[in-house]
């Protein structure tokens, strides 16, 4: 059926022709010519796309309904108009818009422009640039108090308390003592302000530490020390080894002889491997440092941008004849927040402060509010409406006699306990208790709670977005497999490779010594020579040599006690193994070179033009590097052309992903199958091949290559075409398999989260192949599932076709690159998110930090579900701050993510317990606690309503002074608060049956249904207590107060016992303590109670009778419900 459906439901033949053409080009593969057709596509294609709906929409498609997914329809909110709109949040929207408008006027954003920066002369800058200071604070001295108060009173609950408390200053409305209203409110505000002040002060200290770091600045008079915050555009800054780069710079000079240096970028892009950066050759060639001021030169830099992987600029020296022009790219830059890993560097500052790449890629932290708090806010609004309705009914029954509006206000205040002021206090204390429990849990040591306001969010998560490098993986690569087609070597047979190498090199050495007398001319490569079947030994030798030569790895030697920063041992060639470390832009490369060292062929030295290998016999082989073709995400392969100094042979070595290499190597029947086998084992595969070149072939290639590099138009296409002319009929040498070590227990943790109904998305800055490989090896994508790799798209038409192709796939994981994602979100945001949300897993690779945050926000907007982001590097901070709940892992990439997160854990495996146990219990406990506190307020308000009704609708309080305060604090606070110790299932059960977590995401513990049940319970109990006391009281009114209040306190204590599911010894203590406090305090309450009456048997039986009538039916109902429809967890615990 699916095959009969055209990719696009179309209207006309012209559109169909366009469709075919687009489909043909999209199938053309990623060759150098693949991009060309899309440029020449017809102008009117986008016009037809507007008529052509994606297959998701039913309209416009004439095909059979049964072929389509029944997709959930878009939640498109119809705009409300007029008064309805204003009441339903329009006022909030208007206020926010006005504030934003005022802020925009006050902080007019400057337009970002390209700039010309003169070396060492900041004063020559034509316009003002931002200060180079880092500021992570939310408030300043003036905005702190107003800001914190606004954040508190924007919630209806707190605003209501404030209005009620202020009303007590009006004598006509005064009901009780001022402290009964202001004490709880003052307590909540004091705690909040202290907490915010502490957090803000910590941020201020961290910023101050970074901004006051000292750097050497080069001036005409020599070096001077400047603070990081005082650095300006145009300054020449000297950065030492292991020092943070303070601002975005262009790399001018280095102490390294090679004219290059390494930088660590883990806090910028999350990758722990070192990056090679090259100094501008014109300034590197200058004899002395001071000569930078003797030349007349400037850098032209593009306007500040988000993209951390690209840069375009030019370096111009005007005082030479002719003027020198050098093009600048990403390899000539030193971005802020990276760290110099080798040598000392000098750079000219081009961007500062807000315009640096690292700051532009971080978002402002938002104040996170839990879903439970928002739900309670809605319930308080409902209670407020009930309060107003009840007051109006009372005034109406009173007959609007006298100053009725004053009576209305007094009734509003009398019934104000319907919204209990202690709700906020209890919840905040509960949250603090949950945070303490999480940090004290011995099963997840080292866990830190940094945001104590949202522990319940851990129990409501639906989407979990995780980083890859350092979060799911350790970023430690281990070489596992070498396959030569007919023979495969694993970790246990590496000694055989070693023996083959020793034999091979000993033979070549003996041949070389034999040929010493007659120095033979260099042998020419004969492509037409007959093929001779090589021995296994020579094939192993060729394969290992290729792996040892084809890479971008540099050996670095740490100076042992020597004076100065000598990184490379040059003259004496003291290549001691114990002081050598390898650096490269990818940890895979390092793993391969470390493996060749382990089998006997060691890379001992490398610079920009040559590299040296040491054979098992100790002989040094030197190779001249003629050309290097770096790895790109488009080509998916890297190559190097080297000349062997001893034989003058020129060889082109290449390695890359199997998809890119299978078309380049000679025909074989094993490559595809073996690549599949290794991928299933979770290994990252690389295909290695070579081609011997003659001197003439190389010279011809070099002239064409240099010509292509100088072209202005379509430079990348022309260069790719020239390189491709070499990539033909290459000899396949071997297939390598490298394993990225996963974090401990990643697989069982991911499986547990999946069983809990949590959808996992992996967002990584890494390559597509690597991301796919880790998704499979970590079981993020299960073995039975297919993966749909979303092909690279650049235009609306391509995105349209690819989305239609993806729509046909059922139950398969999606793998998409950041660039394609950007295009899809630009034209088909809603359709893409709707399709992606149906996938069991999604992998987004090559994601920029801001893109990660954008994906989080999209999920929040389109699904309305709770999201959690997990990461360990500086590049994950934006995502962590954007998510409803951010978890940071303290890893190799520093502590930046863990400091910015709401929760910090040392290992990924701890997330299972954090969510299943602590998330569950925090949400369940808070739901029970908040509903019980509301019940406590509703019951006393019901009693007040009954009392006022009996006594001619008088607005007179039933309980006064201390009785009201004591009821909400001393008498019932401890038992009610002890609900934070309650648990429905044991932690072991919650971990064993993660399916229990699914129920939590539906929010059934605190819903309209449960709330209404508590309201009915409160009305029943309040009515029974008050009417019972009125029926049974004898001569004096004071007896009504005594009987009803005692029964009320006993009822509350019994209700706590009814609510508890698992008893804790502290709960029993709290019950007994509260009862003891009440009995003891009776002696001091003669103002309210008749002490003589309290000590009689009559008082005791009347109170007991009322209490039993109010509580016994509820106990019976609870027992019947447990028997007839037990909750899911009770089946497990039994």
List, by residue number, the catalytic residues: 467
Distances (CA, A) of 999 to 169, 460, 744, 923, 1122: 47, 9, 28, 12, 18
Give the separation between CA 286 and CA 299, rounded to whole angstroms.
17
Give the separation between CA 45 and CA 38, rounded to whole angstroms.
11
Buried b (16+ CB within 10 A) or exposed e, 790-807: bbbbebbbbbbbbbbbbb
Q: Is 631 exposed, middle or buried (0-12, 13-18, 19+ CB in 10 A)?
A: buried
Residue with tokens 């049974």: 1032
Give the separation between CA 799 and CA 498, rounded to whole angstroms.
50
Give the separation between CA 1090 and CA 145, rounded to whole angstroms.
48
Q: What are phi and psi of 222, to 5 degrees?
A: 120, -160
Partners of residue 346 on adjacent β-strands:
238, 253
Q: Report the Cα 638 to chain-centroid distance in Å.
A: 31
Give the separation between CA 248 and CA 628, rounded to whole angstroms.
27
- 887 close to 905: Cβ distance less than 8 angstroms: yes
Q: Quote the tokens at residue 897.
A: 């993510």
* End-to-end Cα spacing for the chain: 50
1045 contacts: CB under 8 Å, gap ≥ 6: 959, 963, 967, 1088
* Strands 786-789 and 812-817, sheet pairing: parallel
- E strand spans, 568-661: 580-583, 602-606, 610-614, 620-629, 637-644, 650-656
914 contacts: CB under 8 Å, gap ≥ 6: 438, 444, 447, 458, 887, 903, 905
- 1033 close to 1022: Cβ distance less than 8 angstroms: no
Q: Is 872 exposed, middle or buried (0-12, 13-18, 19+ CB in 10 A)?
A: buried
Distances (CA, A) of 1107 to 950, 1051, 1112: 21, 6, 8
- 22 close to 801: Cβ distance less than 8 angstroms: yes
DSSP class of residue 762 equals E
Give the separation between CA 450 and CA 900, rounded to whole angstroms.
8
Distances (CA, A) of 286 to 195, 313, 722, 752, 1074: 56, 21, 34, 61, 84
- E strand spans, 884-968: 885-889, 903-905
Q: In what order do the strands lie in the sheet with 324-328?
A: 115-118, 297-301, 313-317, 324-328
Cis, bond preceding 322 (omega within 30 deg of 0): yes
Give the separation between CA 887 and CA 307, rounded to whole angstroms.
25
333: closest CA among 411, 384, 275? 275
- 796 close to 824: Cβ distance less than 8 angstroms: no
Partners of residue 581 on adjacent β-strands:
556
Describe the crossing of helices 695-710 and 715-726 by its angle, rounded to 10 degrees.
Answer: 170
- 1026 close to 942: Cβ distance less than 8 angstroms: yes
Q: What does the DSSP assignment read for 476-511? A: EEEEEEEE-SS-EE-GGGHHHHHHHHHHHHHHHHHH
């Amino acid at each position: 059926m699916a095959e009969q459906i055209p990719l696009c439901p179309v209207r006309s033949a012209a559109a169909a022709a366009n469709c075919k053409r687009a489909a043909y080009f999209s199938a053309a593969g990623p060759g150098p010519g693949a991009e060309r057709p899309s440029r020449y596509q017809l102008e009117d294609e986008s016009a037809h796309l507007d008529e052509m709906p994606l297959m998701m929409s039913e309209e416009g498609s004439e095909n059979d309904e049964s072929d389509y997914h029944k997709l959930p329809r878009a939640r498109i909110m119809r705009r409300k108009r007029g008064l309805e709109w204003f009441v339903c949040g329009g006022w909030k929207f208007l206020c926010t818009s006005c504030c934003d408008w005022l802020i925009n006027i006050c902080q007019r954003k400057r337009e970002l422009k390209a700039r010309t920066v003169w070396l060492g002369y900041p004063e020559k800058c034509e316009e003002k640039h931002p200060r180079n200071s880092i500021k992570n604070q939310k408030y300043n001295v003036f905005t702190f108090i107003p800001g914190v108060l606004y954040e508190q009173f924007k919630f209806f609950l707190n605003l209501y308390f404030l209005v009620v408390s202020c009303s007590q200053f009006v004598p006509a409305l005064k009901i009780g003592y001022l402290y009964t209203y202001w004490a709880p409110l003052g307590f909540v505000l004091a705690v909040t302000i202290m907490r915010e002040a502490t957090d803000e002060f910590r941020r201020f200290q961290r910023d101050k530490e970074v901004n006051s770091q000292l750097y050497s600045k080069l001036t005409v008079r020599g070096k001077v020390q400047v603070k990081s915050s005082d650095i300006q555009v145009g300054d020449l800054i000297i950065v030492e080894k292991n020092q943070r780069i303070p601002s975005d710079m262009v790399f001018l000079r280095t102490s390294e002889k090679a004219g290059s240096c390494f930088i660590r970028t883990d806090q910028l892009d999350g990758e722990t491997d070192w990056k090679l950066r090259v100094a501008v050759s014109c300034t590197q060639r200058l004899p002395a440092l001071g000569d930078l001021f003797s030349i007349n030169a400037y850098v032209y830099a593009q306007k500040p941008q988000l993209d951390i992987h690209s840069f375009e600029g030019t370096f111009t020296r005007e005082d030479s004849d002719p003027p020198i022009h050098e093009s600048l790219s990403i390899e000539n830059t030193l971005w802020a927040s990276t760290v110099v890993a080798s040598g000392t560097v000098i750079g000219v500052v081009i961007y500062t402060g807000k315009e640096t790449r690292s700051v532009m890629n971080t978002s402002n932290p938002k104040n996170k509010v839990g879903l439970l708090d928002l739900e309670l806010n809605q319930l308080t609004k409902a209670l407020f409406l009930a309060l107003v309705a009840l007051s109006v009914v009372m005034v109406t029954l009173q007959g609007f006699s006298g100053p009725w509006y004053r009576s209305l206000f007094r009734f509003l205040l009398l019934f104000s306990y319907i919204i209990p002021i202690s709700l906020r206090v209890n919840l905040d204390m509960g949250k603090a208790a949950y945070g303490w429990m999480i940090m004290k849990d011995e099963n997840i040591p080292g866990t830190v709670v940094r945001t104590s306001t949202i522990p319940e969010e851990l129990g409501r998560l639906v989407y979990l977005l995780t980083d890859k490098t350092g979060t799911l993986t350790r970023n430690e690569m281990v070489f596992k497999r070498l396959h030569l087609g007919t023979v495969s070597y694993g970790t246990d047979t590496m000694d055989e490779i070693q023996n083959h190498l020793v034999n091979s090199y000993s033979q070549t050495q003996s041949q070389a010594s034999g040929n010493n007398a007659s120095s033979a001319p260099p042998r020419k490569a004969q492509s037409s020579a007959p093929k001779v079947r090589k021995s296994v030994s020579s094939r192993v030798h060729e394969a290992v040599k290729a792996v040892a030569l084809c890479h971008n790895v540099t050996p670095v030697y740490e100076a042992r006690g020597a004076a100065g920063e000598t990184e490379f041992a040059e003259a004496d060639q003291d290549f001691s193994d114990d002081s050598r470390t390898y650096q490269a832009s990818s940890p895979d490369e390092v793993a391969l070179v470390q493996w060749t060292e382990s089998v006997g062929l060691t890379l001992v030295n490398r610079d920009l033009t040559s590299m040296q290998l040491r054979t098992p016999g100790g002989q040094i082989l030197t190779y001249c590097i003629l050309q290097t073709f770096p790895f790109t995400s488009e080509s998916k392969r890297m190559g190097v052309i080297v000349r062997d100094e001893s034989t003058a042979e020129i060889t082109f070595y290449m390695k890359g992903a199997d998809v890119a290499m299978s078309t380049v190597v000679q025909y074989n029947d094993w490559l595809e199958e073996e690549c599949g086998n290794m991928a299933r084992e979770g290994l990252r595969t690389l295909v290695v091949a070579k081609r011997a070149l003659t001197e003439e072939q190389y010279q011809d290639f070099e002239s064409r290559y240099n010509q292509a590099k100088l072209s202005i138009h379509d430079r990348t296409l022309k260069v790719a075409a020239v390189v491709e002319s070499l990539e033909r009929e290459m000899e396949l040498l071997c297939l390598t398999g490298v394993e990225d070590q996963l974090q401990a227990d990643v697989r069982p943790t991911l499986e547990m989260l999946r069983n809990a109904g949590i959808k996992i998305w992996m967002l990584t800055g890494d390559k597509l192949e690597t991301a796919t490989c880790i998704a499979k090896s970590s079981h993020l994508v299960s073995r039975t599932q297919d993966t749909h790799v979303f092909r690279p798209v650049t235009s609306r038409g391509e995105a349209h076709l690819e989305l239609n192709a993806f729509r046909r796939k059922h139950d398969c994981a999606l793998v998409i690159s950041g660039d394609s994602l950007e295009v899809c979100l630009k034209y088909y945001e809603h359709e893409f998110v709707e399709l992606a949300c149906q996938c069991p897993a999604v992998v987004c690779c090559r994601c920029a930090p801001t893109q990660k945050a954008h994906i989080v926000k999209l999920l929040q907007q389109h699904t309305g579900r709770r999201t959690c982001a997990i990461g360990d590097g500086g590049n994950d901070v934006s995502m962590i701050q954007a998510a409803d709940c951010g978890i940071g892992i303290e890893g190799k990439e520093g502590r930046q993510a863990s400091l910015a997160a709401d929760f910090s854990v040392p290992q990924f495996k701890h997330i299972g317990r954090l969510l299943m146990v602590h998330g569950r219990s925090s949400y369940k406990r808070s739901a029970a606690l908040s509903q019980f506190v509301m019940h406590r307020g509703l019951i006393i308000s019901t009693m007040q309503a009954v009392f006022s009704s009996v006594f001619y609708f008088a607005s007179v309080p039933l309980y006064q002074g201390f009785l009201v305060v004591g009821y909400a604090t001393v008498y019932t606070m401890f038992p009610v608060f002890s609900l934070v110790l309650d648990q429905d299932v044991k932690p072991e059960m919650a971990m064993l049956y993660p399916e229990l977590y699914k129920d939590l995401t539906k929010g059934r513990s605190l819903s309209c249904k449960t709330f209404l049940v508590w309201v009915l319970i409160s009305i029943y109990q309040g009515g029974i207590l008050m009417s019972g006391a009125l029926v049974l009281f004898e001569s004096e009114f004071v007896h009504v107060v005594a009987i009803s209040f005692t029964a009320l306190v006993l009822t509350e204590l019994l209700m706590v016992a009814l609510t508890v599911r698992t008893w804790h010894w502290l709960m029993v203590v709290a019950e007994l303590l509260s009862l003891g406090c009440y009995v003891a305090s009776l002696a001091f309450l003669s103002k309210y109670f008749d002490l003589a009456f309290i000590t009689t048997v009559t008082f005791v039986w009347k109170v007991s009778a009322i209490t039993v009538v109010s509580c016994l039916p509820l106990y019976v109902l609870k027992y019947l419900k447990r028997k007839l429809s037990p909750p899911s967890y009770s089946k497990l615990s039994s």
